[in-house]
Amino acid sequence: MNETGRRAVLPAQGYRMPQRLFTDEDGCRVRFFPERGGEAVDIDLSVLPVSRELRDWMALGVLGVTGPAGTRRTTTSALDTVSILKRFCRYLVSLSNPPTTPDQLRAVHLDGFVLAGGKTLHRDLSALRTILRFAPDAPAEFAARLAMARVAKADSATHSYSEAEFRRITALARSEVRAAATRIRAGRRLLADWRAGGVEAGDPSGQWKLGAMLDHVDRHADIPRYASGTPRDWPAVRAAGGIGGVITRLHLTHHEIGAFAVLLLCLTGQNYSTLAAATTTHHRPDAHAGGTATAQLDLDKPRRGSRKAAMTVSLRDVPADPREARDDLNTPFGVFALLLELGSGSRKVMQTDSLFAFYNVKNGPHGRGYRHGLPKQILQQWGWGTDLVCDAPDADGRPVPLHIDSRRLRMTWLEINQRPVAHTQATLANEYLARNRGNLAEYQKVVAGVLDQQVQRARSAPPIPALSAQDIEQARTDPDTVAARHGLEVDTLQQLIAGRLDTVLAGCTNPQGSPFTPDDKPCDASFLLCLSCPCARATPAHLPVQVLTLDALKGRRQEMTPLRWAERLAEPAARLADLLDHHSPAALTDARAAATSADHALVDRFLTRGLDLT
């Protein structure tokens, strides 16, 4: 049983796992079943130019890595294992004495493969580790070398688009998506009017004939044809733009699906493969109640591993009715809702729940017809079909076509938004933004500017008043003088010293008079704002927590992007540093040593927002 107490779904009695490995003298195939369903695909390993024994051993690795316990869960990634193994096998057979059995593999074979180089070598080594760990009884020397093999990336530097380029890409994709919505909605209105008798037969504008053809397309997924396959009333079909022109009055095209994919990448920062596998299944937490529209999608990023691959993503912040003529295509939800609407006809034809569904007008690698999913290289093909150009011309001053790449779109989104998507803050800072070599200098200037601005803002006012140890001692015998010195009532001073007014970093002498909340309302601002609040007073008792907090804020530099740290934490860190400057280094060292486990727990809860009221 599962956690809810319901019986788990089990195979029917007598169920047997389907055969997946097929080997004989002439062939070797591994049958792959996509995780999200669909037709099984055979991975043909007979093309590997090695001995049958070595080929069949590698096939066992492919069998495991594409199986339930493996990491290759999409058809594209499963078929990619062939090209990876083929590159390794081609090196092996180029040797004067190539290995013919698995037990003949040695570390030197990997060393030679590394020395042979190649643009994809760093990915090939990682993939070989993943694949061959499922192959049984690998020679110990070979397995140990494979586990340790690492090479630097040989790829050319990948950098983000400029802000102007990114805006042009997004604006063009949005324009094409709107044009598609206008065309398909007009086609659907004409079809509805024709069925309701609102279009007169023999209409000289040809609307009645077009309505009849759209009715046939909607019912049969094709234009009216004779038994031979020739279109009926070819002049009317030609006048409507040809076969593809008629069908796409109700369906999206290959190019428009590319525009939708680009727009979603530009608005969400998700991986291309994650969006490509998306389905229409979603949940509406807003319950269509008229508030902020929100949709929750279950997406999948297989390379995060079996435990972290599945993730729920929220798309939100759009008008209540995204099907209005004025589509909100500035938010992920608006694009998602429009794609649901415009692709519904194609999904019905194919009986699929794939988010991307369309009619392919031209004869491509897979011919004309209805398709679902994101075709390979669709982003590049979409870019080729546009007039987008780079900011900088070539050496002769001629415009350079702008290449559309999902990695660059994602990197630009991450740079602009400075928050992780399906990875950690550390990965964002150390992997994605660190690789963005093209805009590094510009990024550093932005971070430096924000840091200067935040520090100047922090130092535009003096630190909050702090009671010294002498003040505390004097308050025991002469509280009136100490209270007057710090602008407090005697009763307030005594409560402050007793710790009854403590927040986290200081004590609050007037919770009803906060500048961060309306008059006469209890303060509900973040405790970090106490460092700039006129109601705050610090005492020596707060020193251990203040020291720990400053240490933790500085430590967050390693976990956050530089810009995000500067925007969120630079000001409170500067204010706290100025406050602690009034104490000697020895006093700060003593306070750090005197901090209790309760102090450490308090700072941890504080900085992880465990103390927030909202």
Distant-in-sequence, close-in-space partners of 607: CB < 8 Å, separation ≥ 6: 549, 552, 553, 556
pTM value > 0.75: no
CA-to-CA separations, 18 to 33, 44, 196, 574, in angstroms, rounded: 10, 17, 51, 64
Q: Which pLDDT score is estimated for 568? A: 77
Average pLDDT for residues 192-204, to the nearest whole number? 85
293 or 581, greater pLDDT: 581
Indicate the pLDDT class of residue 612, thresholds 50, 70 and 90. Answer: low
**What's the mean per-residue pLDDT of the chain?**
81
Side chain identity at residue 604, one-letter code: D
Q: Which pLDDT score is estimated for 324? A: 39
Q: Which pLDDT score is estimated for 316? A: 56
Side chain identity at residue 96, one-letter code: S
Q: Which pLDDT score is estimated for 2? A: 45
Average pLDDT for residues 411-416, to the nearest whole number? 78
Q: Which pLDDT score is estimated for 323? A: 39
Tell me the pLDDT tens digit for each residue of 122-172.
888 889 999 999 999 999 999 998 888 776 655 555 677 888 899 999 999
Q: Which pLDDT score is estimated for 227? A: 85
Residue 224 and residue 213 in contact, taking contact as beta carbons nearer than 8 Å: yes
Long-range CB pairs of 124-129 (<8 Å, 24+ gap) are 124/84, 124/87, 124/88, 125/149, 125/150, 125/151, 127/80, 127/81, 127/84, 128/84, 128/85, 128/88
Average pLDDT for residues 49-69, to the nearest whole number? 92
Rg of the chain's alpha carbons, rounded to an integer?
32
Q: Which pLDDT score is estimated for 297? A: 66
Please state, as a whole number, how many other Cβ atoms lie within 10 Å of the Cβ of residue 484.
12
- Cα four-point dihedral sign 381, 387, 391, 396: positive
309 has pLDDT over 60: no
Average pLDDT for residues 356-362, to the nearest whole number? 88
H helix or E strand, kind and range, residue 244? helix 242-247
Average pLDDT for residues 521-529, to the nearest whole number? 80
Work out the percent of the chain whose per-residue pLDDT is above 90: 28
Residue 119 and residue 158 in contact, taking contact as beta carbons nearer than 8 Å: no
**Tokens, residue 506:** 């200081």
Backbone angles phi, psi at 77, to 5 degrees: -70, -30
Tell me the pLDDT tens digit for each residue of 16-44.
778 899 988 778 999 998 876 678 899 99
Tell me the pLDDT tens digit for each residue of 589-609.
998 998 999 989 888 888 877
What would the DSSP string read from start to end of 41-84?
EEEE-TT--S-HHHHHHHHHHHHHHTSTTSS--SHHHHHHHHHH
365 has pLDDT over 70: no
CA–CA separation, 292 and 328 (whole Å): 13
Indicate the pLDDT class of residue 437, thresholds 50, 70 and 90. Answer: very low
Indicate the pLDDT class of residue 304, thresholds 50, 70 and 90. Answer: very low
Average pLDDT for residues 463-487, to the nearest whole number? 89
Indicate the pLDDT class of residue 84, thresholds 50, 70 and 90. Answer: very high
**Tokens, residue 457:** 């803002």
The DSSP bridge pattern shows strands 507-508 and 536-537 to be antiparallel
Longest dimension (CA), the chain: 110
Residue 603 and residue 552 in contact, taking contact as beta carbons nearer than 8 Å: yes
Q: Which pLDDT score is estimated for 275? A: 84
46 has pLDDT over 50: yes
